[in-house]
Structure 1
């Protein structure tokens, strides 16, 4: 009975085994567990794959961000599989190389990584018997030495970027984007200078505070042939975000870059917003306004009122790159003028246009007609008209004058500036004015102005020299020259009767020596001086000795 039961039990086991085999289930002898090792940098490490050891794992610690290199020499017959994982078991790369014990495979790979723990796995992927053998691996590392502050992967945690200070950034397998925050205190030109060692494409984007794209560009280079990228854009004040990124998550778009920005303020004094007729900035006559067209402000409106019909002149100096458009419309939105100039920040364009206008209100528009990125920059604008300013004429003033006289509008205040002092007085009921001042030196510049609600009319006059030089003194008069002293820079004339016999210029020391045609002793000569203004001194009669 016992023998019968044992036979039945044995037969049952055989049946179970046969059933498992027929169903496709393979039975193997349990293999050894995968071995784990530390992988020191710059050290050759030997390993082996066998039928029982099908995988070896090596731990690598990176203390800094940088480029990790892995070199494997494999004597494994047929295929050696090589995998790199991060500390969350995400696969960085999974590759293989083919060789044999007689013709070993040489495998090299690199990847840009952030600091952390990583695992290199050498393994027999399909447990094939022929994928066994020895191998040697060596890991090396080059630090990026970046000084960007992580995490800076979005606008919320963007790293503040100071002007004129370079930052070294790094894009890697596990950090594909860097954000930098830039704050512009004024309107002006923002410059971006990028040197990139990234293989192969570096993408750079600028966003405004509403996440609208100002530009989105890329440049191509490598760690051996770094790319240089430069760009500028005219912007209004505010916060902006520079994004350096790996656009398509490609493994080879990683590496080090050096980013530097700078800023040139426009120093514009226009008043924003002035983007339409409703909010147009009032522009007084004869006053210069500095305006600025930018990526986010492509139009400026100015408003002026002409009190009576007459000529109006529009003057502009434009540093806009490259085309500046102008338009003049009346209060009914009828276009009266449409024009443009071409120039640049290095070669500014000058524009001047005079047009006859009727009494009324007008709007002058300066704008980027097609919203092109390069039609931005600084400009100046001045509107003048002879019909709106107070009339002003000034009489001549000499170095003997003690009064400034002239004509202007009735009861108009007149301002005189002379030798650092200011004198004011109102004209009378017919517009005549007379303002007392001290005597001024010849050549002094005097500014006379009259200001009304439309602007200031200015007249500049130069004090005339009406004071004759002193009569020259004679030291010696010979048959061939006359020698003496006189007013510096004046001209000495020597006459015999009505005939000019010689002349000379008085030198810096106040002396002269005038050569004359040969005279007889005892002859009488008349000597006088004349200054540059034509004033003539008294005469001196001398006898030739």
Structure 2
């Protein structure tokens, strides 16, 4: 991955990078002071250094450049801590063929203190490089002179990929389940990986990027892009970003490309990334091409089937037969954000569809029973993940079955009627499904109550060992109950008699003790078959026999 491009200052703290890296950091720290060299104006005469050395140098009237050569045994980040006592300084990094891969210039000092300090973290691939320090301000072609001190250090990224891997032909072979540690460098644009899936399922990518931006692109074996994510900017306060992606894919060979480009601004980021991969098979009932009716899969009644809409698969087509005119039920559980079902007749004419069926995001799925009236014959069913109103494609797994309509799989179309309350049952609204006949009740109201009994004091009186009792009749009553007792509390010695008939309104109670007080109550009752309900007892009324 060697491409010469110019990139401006990268302010990523090496200490923060080490702290967040999942791979132990290694660095050279020889702490050797490299003295000023008399003749290092060219690459051929460049001073050889190790990362960890401190570079002490000067730009004079007769000396324009100081060149240093260093070698990296692995990909990682070099850190340059520069203190320049020049009005302006410039640092440039070259590869061995003289290609400039990074620079910073027009770094003007603080005139008040007479120097300037900066730190640069530059991600490089394994190899040999040249650092050139000079005093030129390229916009004005003005040369500054003076001394500088530059402390160097190196942190390995512990990458698992090999270079060069900028193309599909040079892609790194990986197995899903591997942990990928990579780096996008100033002299490296892309990291490419190749993997093969032996079955249909979901590839999970857990990505942690220490670049300001990152982009992941997925290609099929023909080099066609089938998925991408870009403009993923880090959280600057922590210096990284973590994301998780579920990619539903058909079986086959794929290429994954990781880069640091923010496509919206065409800005390239550099840095380390860690990507953990895993795979979950979907256990689909059929695999292979089924995107058209010619390749539709035969399905049977009352059997569950599993399918998947993938990044590289738009439609699943099935064929089934209906033995007689009837309403059928398609029971589906979809783990896609949206799903759509379309039914076609044997001539390929669409006769029914349902779309924009969005999942419950809290649980990550949606369950439905779709009911369709069909005549006897052969039909095609197409399932896809499109929300047609939004032109948005969902991917994921789904489970479905086709069967005859029953109360269990009917999606129910209810009509209702009101049933009045009686003295024996509550009132309610009765709902009846017009498709399958299922019924249920709702909106209950209380049972009707008989009016409280009431004794007519004007016409009630006592006689010789008798009581002449009259009461007011109550509509809907089947008859009346009378109870009487010598004790006002009516806790013992109570006698009860029944008078049948709603229109009855009087009763003589005989064979009572003479010259005694009797307390009397009356209430209505309602009878239906073996059921009987009662109204409330009237107020107690006292009558005295003679």
* TM-score normalised to structure 2 length: 0.58
Which residue is 1:305 aligned to? 321
**8 Å CA contact 1:274, 1:300 repeated in 2:** yes
Picking from 206, 214, 217, the partner of 2:218 is: 206
For residues 296 and 129 of structure 1, the distance between their equivalents in structure 2, rounded to whole angstroms, comes to 57
For residues 280 and 207 of structure 1, the distance between their equivalents in structure 2, rounded to whole angstroms, comes to 26
Picking from 43, 58, 62, the partner of 2:68 is: 58
For residues 386 and 104 of structure 1, the distance between their equivalents in structure 2, rounded to whole angstroms, comes to 85
1:356-406 deviations in Å (ceiling 9; x for gaps) = 43332222222234586652222233223499xxxxxxxxxxxxxxxxxxx
Secondary structure, in 3 states, of the residue corresponding to 2:261? coil
Secondary structure, in 3 states, of the residue corresponding to 1:274? coil
For residues 134 and 233 of structure 1, the distance between their equivalents in structure 2, rounded to whole angstroms, comes to 55
Picking from 97, 103, 106, the partner of 1:88 is: 97
Equivalent residue pairs, number: 354
For residues 364 and 33 of structure 1, the distance between their equivalents in structure 2, rounded to whole angstroms, comes to 76
**8 Å CA contact 1:322, 1:376 repeated in 2:** yes
Picking from 244, 253, 271, the partner of 1:239 is: 253
For residues 184 and 122 of structure 1, the distance between their equivalents in structure 2, rounded to whole angstroms, comes to 50
Which residue is 1:103 aligned to? 114
CA 1:59–1:271 in 2, change beyond 3 Å: closer, same or farther? closer
1:319-372 deviations in Å (ceiling 9; x for gaps) = 331222222222234443322444369443333244443332222222234586
CA 1:344–1:152 in 2, change beyond 3 Å: closer, same or farther? farther
Secondary structure, in 3 states, of the residue corresponding to 1:135? strand
The reply to whether residue 141 of structure 1 matches residue 154 of structure 2 is yes
**8 Å CA contact 2:90, 2:133 repeated in 1:** yes
**8 Å CA contact 1:318, 1:349 repeated in 2:** yes
Which residue is 1:73 aligned to? 83
Which residue is 2:383 aligned to? 366
Which residue is 1:161 aligned to? 174
The reply to whether residue 288 of structure 1 matches residue 299 of structure 2 is no
**8 Å CA contact 1:73, 1:104 repeated in 2:** yes
CA 1:188–1:37 in 2, change beyond 3 Å: closer, same or farther? same
For residues 386 and 53 of structure 1, the distance between their equivalents in structure 2, rounded to whole angstroms, comes to 92
The reply to whether residue 351 of structure 1 matches residue 368 of structure 2 is yes
CA 1:350–1:105 in 2, change beyond 3 Å: closer, same or farther? closer
For residues 66 and 237 of structure 2, the distance between their equivalents in structure 1, rounded to whole angstroms, comes to 32
Which residue is 2:196 aligned to? 183
Which residue is 1:229 aligned to? 243
The reply to whether residue 258 of structure 1 matches residue 274 of structure 2 is yes
For residues 360 and 325 of structure 2, the distance between their equivalents in structure 1, rounded to whole angstroms, comes to 33
CA 1:251–1:118 in 2, change beyond 3 Å: closer, same or farther? farther
CA 1:48–1:373 in 2, change beyond 3 Å: closer, same or farther? same
1:152-172 deviations in Å (ceiling 9; x for gaps) = 212112112222321110110
Secondary structure, in 3 states, of the residue corresponding to 1:278? helix
Picking from 309, 319, 329, the partner of 2:344 is: 329
Cα displacement (A) at 1:268: 0.9
Which residue is 1:377 aligned to? 396
* TM-score normalised to structure 1 length: 0.58
Gaps of 5+ in 1: 1-30, 388-545
**8 Å CA contact 1:75, 1:103 repeated in 2:** yes
**8 Å CA contact 1:82, 1:96 repeated in 2:** no
Which residue is 1:39 aligned to? 49
1:278-330 deviations in Å (ceiling 9; x for gaps) = 332222223322222222222222222334x3324223232331222222222
Which residue is 1:314 aligned to? 329
For residues 291 and 90 of structure 2, the distance between their equivalents in structure 1, rounded to whole angstroms, comes to 65
For residues 384 and 80 of structure 2, the distance between their equivalents in structure 1, rounded to whole angstroms, comes to 58
For residues 130 and 83 of structure 1, the distance between their equivalents in structure 2, rounded to whole angstroms, comes to 15
1:67-126 deviations in Å (ceiling 9; x for gaps) = 1122232233x3333332221112221524334796123243231111222222233549
**8 Å CA contact 1:58, 1:121 repeated in 2:** yes
**8 Å CA contact 1:41, 1:141 repeated in 2:** yes
Gaps of 5+ in 2: 1-37, 407-546
The reply to whether residue 339 of structure 1 matches residue 354 of structure 2 is yes
1:393-452 deviations in Å (ceiling 9; x for gaps) = xxxxxxxxxxxxxxxxxxxxxxxxxxxxxxxxxxxxxxxxxxxxxxxxxxxxxxxxxxxx
For residues 65 and 112 of structure 2, the distance between their equivalents in structure 1, rounded to whole angstroms, comes to 18
**8 Å CA contact 2:343, 2:351 repeated in 1:** yes
For residues 280 and 149 of structure 1, the distance between their equivalents in structure 2, rounded to whole angstroms, comes to 43
For residues 253 and 296 of structure 1, the distance between their equivalents in structure 2, rounded to whole angstroms, comes to 29
**8 Å CA contact 1:328, 1:364 repeated in 2:** yes
For residues 258 and 290 of structure 1, the distance between their equivalents in structure 2, rounded to whole angstroms, comes to 33
CA 1:288–1:41 in 2, change beyond 3 Å: closer, same or farther? closer
Secondary structure, in 3 states, of the residue corresponding to 2:191? strand
